[in-house]
Amino acid sequence: MPLWLIYHPTNTFTTPTEKSALATSITTVYTAVNLPAFYVNVLFIPLSPHSIYIGGTPRPSAPSTTNSEPGPDSSKPFIRITVQNIARKIPNDAIRDRFLGSVDAALKPFIEDKGYDWEYSLEETNRDLWKVQGLVPPMPGSEAEGEWVRGNRAVPFEREKGGLPAVL
């Protein structure tokens, strides 16, 4: 399951419409490769102006020649995103580059095009330590995962239909 934590100043992502559009754009990155939409979790975490510091300077803050030269403009909002991917691992450099390009495209209208400064990082966590509704998720491409995609929810399945080994 992808978990997106979007840390942002309180003056960004202020409407449900804007948050929904960004969450939908992020979800599309994953549904385009046939993950169930319900796997994608996006949490918006607003932070007060004096809770985000970059290089010791609050962001955003009033412009100051001592704080913003030659570095970034301290008056710009700074968005920090952390992503945990659990459902899939990136198997090679070509897929990594394609995935990161999709992430950049999904974020562009909501962050880059607005002139915000931003950064994101991705970590891949151990799939063996993940459950959904108390169920071990089916393996990628399995018949059971197809059912989860079509139904957009977790449903019980036979282990072999989920590509899981038989329980001993």
Model confidence over 121-150: pLDDT tens digits? 999 999 999 999 999 999 999 999 999 999
Q: Which neighbouring-strand residues pair with 44?
A: 6
Q: Residue 56 pLDDT > 90, yes or no?
A: no
Same domain, 76 and 148: no
Whether the full predicted model's pTM is greater than 0.85, yes or no, is yes
Predicted confidence band of residue 97 (pLDDT cuts 50, 70, 90):
very high
Same domain, 108 and 64: yes
Spatial separation of the C-alpha atoms in residues 65 and 88, rounded to whole Å = 45
Same domain, 67 and 113: yes
Predicted confidence band of residue 74 (pLDDT cuts 50, 70, 90):
confident
pLDDT at 70: 47
Q: Residue 49 pLDDT > 90, yes or no?
A: no
* The pair of three-digit structure tokens given for residue 164, joined into one six-digit string: 């899981």
Range of the domain at 162: 131-168
Domain count, the chain: 2
Residue 4 host element (H or E): strand 3-9
Spatial separation of the C-alpha atoms in residues 147 and 78, rounded to whole Å = 39
Spatial separation of the C-alpha atoms in residues 136 and 108, rounded to whole Å = 34
Same domain, 146 and 70: no
Same domain, 87 and 76: yes
